[in-house]
Amino acid sequence: MITSDERDKLELVLSELVNNAVVHGGAATAEHQITVHLAVAPERIRAEVCDPGSGFDPDALASRQGQIGGYGLTILDGLTSRWGVSSDDGTCVWFEDDRWLEAE
């Protein structure tokens, strides 16, 4: 079970990643799909959003500061424990968030 804070964080981060997949990843047309995987375990939550795009260099995005838009990965970086990009077959952006649940 996830907490309301975790749910809010997931909704924000996943909406940013899905938006990026549509706008930048080639998933804006009906013949392309976005795949979302979500796993919830006692110690962490892991998710990934995959699209048919060719990938990107996360380090190059830092140079966009001051421009309108382009803050999805900044939000991802600030709200999750770790994240990365895989470009083996399309592009998958994944993240993990450590959970600090109190024992009941």
Q: Is residue 40 part of a domain?
A: yes
Percent of the chain with pLDDT over 90: 52
Q: In this model, does residue 10 exceed pLDDT 90?
A: yes
Query: What residues make up the domain containing 80?
Result: 4-98
pLDDT at residue number 45: 97
54: domain CATH number? 3.30.565.10
Packing angle of the helix pair 72-79, 4-24 (nearest 10 deg): 150
Tell me if 46 is assigned to some domain. Answer: yes
* pLDDT for residue 100: 80
- Binned at pLDDT 50, 70 and 90, residue 29 comes out as confident
Express each pLDDT in 32-82 by its tens digit.
Answer: 889 999 999 999 999 999 998 887 777 665 555 555 566 788 889 999 999
